[in-house]
């Protein structure tokens, strides 16, 4: 099949289309998802054709990456539907099945690393003192220890937050948090033509962990929707696609989505900011970048936009 931009017009979407494989995930396809995919798809087609031809098994892997809430799940679902529509079997895989811990445990581990790193920073700098102990405990109990607004009252908190952030940045999006090797192994099996592959399913409780064997005989394109789909730790993706947003836009998306609690906390803001900077550092590798206002950006245009 020759994939030509001129040959394609957006098909009408049915009321319900297949979505990714994250257990319990509810993806509401909105007009913004469709608009982004309509811009992305024609630009993607020639790159996809080259990737499929270059693979002996005639298969390709696309990743849809970006900060939490930017629309990865919706865009990946529409993209997969469009691929099916032109005769390319497609499967949407959610990278959120591949952290080492369920969400609640991972949130707790993030907070543990932040707080323990912050306290060690106070000790190392000599700023830790007896009067800090109760003050810090109160801040932690009220979930205010990541809020820079309290530095004025507690100057030592600046060291705590700085060192805590460093510790957190050493965990987020690294192999300590995410199962990059397992997912890269799945990508390798797919690109080497495996007919059936066992895929991980991770819900939100300790007992919601299992594997499901998926038939890939008729699947030409694997679409991975994942924050870390363009990570330096992740190998095998042919076409990384970055959906861009600022941290402020990301937090607004998360509030509207309502999937995770405490979306407006200072700690969540810190996590989002670290993830944003990580995505920015990797953006040069993206084959396509789609802006919030439905434009395909060059890397130079992306850098200019983020600088502003």
The answer on 302 and 187 residing in a single domain is yes
pLDDT number for residue 195: 97
pLDDT number for residue 308: 81
The answer on 293 and 182 residing in a single domain is yes
The count of structural domains within the chain is 2
The answer on 202 and 157 residing in a single domain is no
The answer on 224 and 92 residing in a single domain is yes
The answer on 142 and 250 residing in a single domain is no
The answer on 241 and 298 residing in a single domain is yes
pLDDT along the chain (308 residues), means of 10: 65 91 91 96 97 98 94 97 96 97 96 98 96 96 97 97 98 98 98 98 94 98 98 97 81 60 81 94 98 95 90
The answer on 210 and 84 residing in a single domain is yes
Distance spanning both ends of the chain, measured CA to CA: 42
pLDDT number for residue 20: 92
The answer on 246 and 228 residing in a single domain is yes
pLDDT number for residue 15: 87
Q: Which of 169, 194, 220 is the last residue of a domain?
A: 169
DSSP state of 91: E
pLDDT number for residue 232: 96
In CATH, what number is assigned to the domain containing residue 202? 3.40.50.300
Residues 6+ apart with CB under 8 A from 66: 72, 227, 242, 243, 244, 245, 279
Q: Which two tokens stand for residue 41?
A: 């798809």
Query: CA–CA distance from 49 to each of 43, 62, 287, 306 (Å)?
Result: 11, 12, 14, 31
Q: Which of 151, 169, 187 is the last residue of a domain?
A: 169
Q: Which two tokens stand for residue 264?
A: 């407006």
Whether the model pTM is above 0.75: yes
What is the C-alpha to C-alpha distance for residues 49 and 60, in angstroms, rounded to an integer?
A: 9
What is the C-alpha to C-alpha distance for residues 164 and 89, in angstroms, rounded to an integer?
A: 45
Beta-bridge mates of residue 225: 64, 94
Q: Which of 134, 169, 204 is the last residue of a domain?
A: 169
Cα Rg, the chain, nearest whole Å: 21
The answer on 189 and 284 residing in a single domain is yes
Q: Which two tokens stand for residue 101?
A: 């811990």
Q: Which domain holds residue 152?
A: 103-169
The answer on 190 and 158 residing in a single domain is no
What is the C-alpha to C-alpha distance for residues 64 and 80, in angstroms, rounded to an integer?
A: 11
The answer on 69 and 184 residing in a single domain is yes
pLDDT number for residue 257: 56
The answer on 191 and 252 residing in a single domain is yes
Residue 123's SS3 state is helix
């Amino acid at each position: 099949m020759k994939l030509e931009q001129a040959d394609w017009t957006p098909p009408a979407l049915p009321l319900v289309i297949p979505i990714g494989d994250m257990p319990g995930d509810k993806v509401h396809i909105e007009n913004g998802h469709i608009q982004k995919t309509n811009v992305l798809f024609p630009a993607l087609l020639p790159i996809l054709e080259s990737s499929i031809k270059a693979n002996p098994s005639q298969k390709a892997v696309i990743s849809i990456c970006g900060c939490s809430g930017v629309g990865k799940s919706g865009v990946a679902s529409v993209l997969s539907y469009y691929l099916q529509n032109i005769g390319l079997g497609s499967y949407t895989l959610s990278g959120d099945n591949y952290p080492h811990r369920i969400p609640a445990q991972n949130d707790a581990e993030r907070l543990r690393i932040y707080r323990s790193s912050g306290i060690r920073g106070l000790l190392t700098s000599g700023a830790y003192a007896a009067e800090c102990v109760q003050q810090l405990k109160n801040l932690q109990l009220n979930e205010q220890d990541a809020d820079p607004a309290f530095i004025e009252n507690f100057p030592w908190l600046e060291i705590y937050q700085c060192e805590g952030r460093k510790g957190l940045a050493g965990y987020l999006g690294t192999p300590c948090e995410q199962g990059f090797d397992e997912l890269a192994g799945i990508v390798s099996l797919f690109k080497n033509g495996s007919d059936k592959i066992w895929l991980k399913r991770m819900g939100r409780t300790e007992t919601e962990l299992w594997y499901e064997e998926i038939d890939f005989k008729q699947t030409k394109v694997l679409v991975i929707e994942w924050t870390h789909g363009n990570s330096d730790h992740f190998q095998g993706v042919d076409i990384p696609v970055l959906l861009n947003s600022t941290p402020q836009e990301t937090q607004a998306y998360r509030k509207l989505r309502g999937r995770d609690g405490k979306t407006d906390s200072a700690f969540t803001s810190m996590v989002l900011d670290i993830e944003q900077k990580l995505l920015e550092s990797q953006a040069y590798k993206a084959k396509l970048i789609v802006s919030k206002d439905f434009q395909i950006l060059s890397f130079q245009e992306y850098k200019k936009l983020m600088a502003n």
